[in-house]
C-alpha cells in the first residue's frame, strides 16, 4: 500500500504582542518593537548635546586632558575626538556605526549620527539610531595665548654683523620673506647692529639657524639657561639663546686678504673688491679681473676686514678710459670674470676740479665707464688705513684709487622706480636718515646685480607708470618680466557678487578635478556618514 504525502509549507508561527495585540514573530520579550522602544530607551545616559573647544588662531581642537590637535571637518580624527567626549556612556552599549551629518561650516555645530545596540528584557537585542549635537566653543589654546601675550619665548636668535652698513640684513630679510621662515616667530626686534628672533620652541629656532647657515656666511654659538625644574617628574624648563655672527663684509667693500689666503685663491692680489655676499663672499681683483668665492669656514680661518667706511666713498669723474684686451695671467691664476671688462682709467675728484691732480688706476668697470662719467670709489692714497695686512704690503702694490660703481642721479632713479619690496613686521628702536640711505643703496644694488635679484621677490608698484627699462642716463632698471603682482585679498573688499563668483569658480575647479564628487555629494544616502 502506498501513502501519498502532500508537501506542506512550514511558516513560523506568530504571537500577539502582550501590550498592543499586534501579530509579531516570537521574541524573548514577546513585545513588538514599537512597544519595546516606548518602554526601554537604550540611549538613556548618553548626552545628546556636548561642547567641543576650538582655537580660532591655530585652527585646532582640544582633546582632554591637555592636547590640541589639528582636524579637518568630517575627518576620521575629528570623529574619534567627538566619540571620546562620550566614551564613558558609550561603554554601556555596543556601537555599531557612527558618521557625520552635514552642517554649515560656519554654524559652530557638529552632528554625529550613532547606531547602538543593547540587550534588554530577557535577552532581546534592541538597536537604536540617534544624533548627538556638538557645540563648537571658541577657546584660545596655551600656545596662542603666549603668542598674543608677546612676552613669552623659549628660544631667541641674536643675529649680528659688525659693520656700519645693513645691505646684508636687507638681503637676508628678503630671503626670509621668500621662504616663509618668519611664520613661527613670536616677534622680531630690530636693534642697532642686528635682529632678534623670538620663538616658542627650540626646534623652530634650530631650523632658523640652519636656514641662516645656508643663506649667508656665518657662525653661531648656542647656550641655555635653566628656568625651572621638577625633580619628581624629572622635567626641566630651559631658555635657549643662539648667537649668530655674520661675516663683517658687505657688498662694495674693499678688503685686504692675508698673503696665505690670496695665494690659496690663485695668487690673486691682496686688495680686492667684494661684489656680492650670498652664501659666500664673492671677491674680484680690480687689477686682473680674477674672482674668488670665500665661504664662512674659510673666512673664520683667515679673517679680514673692510678697509674703508661706506661714508668714505668719494665721487670721481672719468677723464680717460681704455679697455685692456690682453690680460697677463700668472702661473696658478684662478678664474677670470666674463661679466666685467678690465679698464685703465684716469680719474679726478669732483671736489678737486679746480686743480690738475688726477689719479690712475685699473678697474673692473671698464665695460661701463666712458669719459665724463661719474663714478664712486675709495681714495686709498690719502686715507689712513689701519690694517695689519696692508701695513705689511709693499706700497707699490697698494692702488691709489679703487673704483666701486658707476654713479647715477639717485632722485631720478627713485622717481622712476616702479617696483617695491615687502618688509618684515618688526619692532624698531629708532630709524634715522642713514637707514633710509642704506635701504636706497640696497634697492640700487638689486637693479644693478641680476644674481642677487633672482633670489628676491620683487612686486609691481601700480602707483608708478610703466616706462622703458632704461632711462636717458642708461641707469639699469628691473624689467616687468621679473616683477610679481602684489595681490591683497580681503573679505571686506569683495562684495556679494564677487564672493559668489569666487565660490562658483572654486566649485567648477573641483568638478573638473573630481567629476564624481558632485554626484556623490547629492546622494542623500551619503549624508549619514
Which pLDDT does position 150 carry in this prediction?
A: 64
Interval 43-62: pLDDT, tens = 888 888 999 999 998 889 99
Other residues' Cβ atoms within 10 Å of the Cβ of residue 56: 12
Residue 201 grid cell: 620652541
Half-sphere exposure of 386 (CA within 13 A, CB side): 1
Q: Give which of 401, 380, 405, 387 is closest to 257, Cα–Cα.
A: 387
pLDDT digits (tens, 9 = 90+) for 236-274: 888 999 999 999 999 999 999 999 999 999 888 999 999
201-229: average pLDDT = 93
DSSP state, residue 496: H
Q: pLDDT tier at 308 (50, 70, 90 boundaries)? A: confident
Task: Report d(CA 340, CA 123) in Å as an integer.
Answer: 95
Q: Is 508 a residue whose pLDDT tops 70?
A: no
Residue pair 128/116 in contact (Cβ under 8 Å)? The answer is yes
- Give the phi and the psi of residue 122 in degrees, each rounded to 5: 65, 30
Task: Quote the pLDDT of residue 493.
Answer: 40
Query: Is the separation of the CB atoms in 243 and 221 below 8 Å?
Result: yes
pLDDT of res. 210: 95
With bands split at pLDDT 50, 70 and 90, how would you rate the model's confidence at 376? very high
Long-range contacts of 208-213 (CB under 8 A, 24+ apart): 208/157, 208/181, 208/184, 209/157, 209/242, 209/244, 211/176, 211/179, 211/181, 212/157, 212/159, 212/172, 212/244, 213/296
H-type alpha helices, 403-524: 410-416, 433-448, 450-453, 496-513, 517-521
Q: Residue 17: which of 38, 46, 42, 2 has the closest Cα?
A: 38
DSSP 345: E
| Confidence at 206, pLDDT banded by 50, 70, 90 | very high
Whole-number Å distance between alpha carbons of 447 and 462: 18
Across 408-425, average pLDDT: 87
Backbone angles phi, psi at 368, to 5 degrees: -110, -25
> Which of 196, 209, 246 is CA-nearest to residue 429?
196
Report d(CA 121, CA 36) in Å as an integer: 9
**Cell numbers at residue 229, please?**
625644574
Which of 42, 64, 39, 51 is CA-nearest to residue 114?
42
348 pLDDT band, cuts 50/70/90, is very high
Q: How confident is the model at residue 235 (pLDDT cuts 50, 70, 90)?
A: confident
Task: Kindly report, residue by residue over 436-476, the tens digit of the pLDDT.
Answer: 888 888 998 888 888 888 889 998 888 877 665 544 567 78
Letter string b/e over residues 329-366, b meaning 16 or more CB atoms within 10 A of that residue's CB: eeeebbebbeebbbbebbbbbeeeeeeeebbebbbbbb
Average pLDDT over every residue of 66-92: 89
Is residue 375 exposed (0-12), middle (13-18) or buried (19+ Cβ within 10 Å)?
buried
Whether 36 shows a pLDDT value over 80: the answer reads: no
Q: Global pTM?
A: 0.69
Amino acid at each position: 500500500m502506498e501513502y501519498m504525502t502532500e508537501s506542506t509549507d512550514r511558516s513560523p508561527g506568530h504571537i500577539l504582542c502582550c501590550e498592543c495585540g499586534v501579530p509579531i514573530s516570537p521574541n524573548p520579550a514577546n513585545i513588538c518593537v514599537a512597544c519595546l522602544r516606548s518602554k526601554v530607551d537604550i540611549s538613556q545616559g548618553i548626552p545628546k548635546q556636548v561642547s567641543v573647544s576650538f582655537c580660532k588662531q591655530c585652527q585646532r581642537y582640544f582633546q582632554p586632558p591637555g592636547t590640541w590637535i589639528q582636524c579637518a571637518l568630517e575627518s576620521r580624527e575629528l570623529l574619534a575626538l567627538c566619540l571620546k567626549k562620550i566614551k564613558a556612556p558609550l561603554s554601556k552599549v555596543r556601537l555599531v556605526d557612527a558618521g557625520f551629518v552635514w552642517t554649515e561650516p560656519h554654524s559652530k555645530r557638529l552632528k554625529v549620527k550613532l547606531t547602538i545596540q543593547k540587550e534588554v528584557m530577557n535577552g532581546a537585542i534592541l538597536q537604536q539610531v540617534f544624533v548627538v549635537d556638538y557645540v563648537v566653543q571658541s577657546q584660545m589654546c596655551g600656545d596662542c595665548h603666549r603668542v598674543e601675550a608677546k612676552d613669552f619665548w623659549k628660544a631667541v636668535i641674536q643675529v649680528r654683523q659688525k659693520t656700519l652698513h645693513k645691505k646684508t640684513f636687507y638681503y637676508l630679510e628678503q630671503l626670509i620673506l621668500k621662504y616663509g621662515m618668519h611664520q613661527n616667530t613670536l616677534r622680531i626686534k630690530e636693534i642697532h647692529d642686528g635682529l632678534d628672533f623670538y620663538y616658542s620652541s627650540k626646534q623652530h629656532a634650530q631650523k632658523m639657524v640652519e636656514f641662516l647657515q645656508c643663506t649667508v656666511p656665518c657662525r653661531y654659538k648656542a647656550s641655555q639657561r635653566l628656568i625651572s625644574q621638577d625633580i619628581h617628574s624629572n622635567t626641566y624648563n630651559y631658555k635657549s639663546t643662539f648667537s649668530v655672527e655674520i661675516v663683517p663684509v658687505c657688498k662694495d667693500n674693499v678688503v685686504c686678504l692675508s698673503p696665505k689666503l690670496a695665494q690659496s685663491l690663485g695668487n690673486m692680489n691682496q686688495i680686492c673688491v667684494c661684489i656680492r655676499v650670498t652664501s659666500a663672499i664673492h671677491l674680484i681683483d680690480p687689477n686682473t679681473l680674477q674672482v674668488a668665492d670665500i665661504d664662512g669656514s674659510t673666512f673664520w680661518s683667515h679673517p679680514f676686514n673692510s678697509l674703508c667706511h661706506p661714508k668714505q666713498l668719494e665721487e670721481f669723474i672719468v677723464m680717460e678710459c681704455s679697455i685692456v684686451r690682453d690680460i697677463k695671467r700668472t702661473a696658478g691664476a684662478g678664474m677670470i670674470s666674463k661679466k666685467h671688462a678690465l679698464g685703465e682709467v684716469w680719474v679726478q675728484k669732483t671736489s678737486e676740479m679746480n686743480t690738475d691732480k688726477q689719479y690712475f688706476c685699473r678697474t673692473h668697470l671698464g665695460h661701463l665707464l666712458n669719459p665724463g662719467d661719474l663714478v664712486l670709489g675709495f681714495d686709498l692714497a690719502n686715507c689712513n688705513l689701519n690694517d695689519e695686512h696692508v701695513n705689511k704690503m709693499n706700497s707699490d702694490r697698494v692702488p691709489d684709487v679703487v673704483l666701486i660703481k658707476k654713479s647715477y642721479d639717485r632722485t631720478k632713479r627713485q622717481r622712476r622706480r616702479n617696483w617695491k619690496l615687502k618688509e618684515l613686521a618688526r619692532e624698531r628702536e629708532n630709524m634715522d636718515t642713514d637707514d633710509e640711505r642704506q635701504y636706497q643703496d640696497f634697492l640700487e644694488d638689486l637693479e644693478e646685480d641680476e644674481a642677487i635679484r633672482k633670489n628676491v621677490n620683487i612686486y609691481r608698484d601700480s602707483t608708478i607708470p610703466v616706462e622703458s627699462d632704461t632711462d636717458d642716463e642708461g641707469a639699469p632698471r628691473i624689467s616687468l618680466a621679473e616683477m610679481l603682482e602684489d595681490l591683497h585679498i580681503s573679505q571686506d573688499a569683495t562684495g556679494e557678487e564677487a564672493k559668489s563668483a569666487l565660490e562658483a569658480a572654486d566649485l567648477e575647479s573641483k568638478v573638473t578635478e573630481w567629476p564624481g564628487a558632485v554626484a556623490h555629494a547629492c546622494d542623500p544616502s551619503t549624508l549619514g556618514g
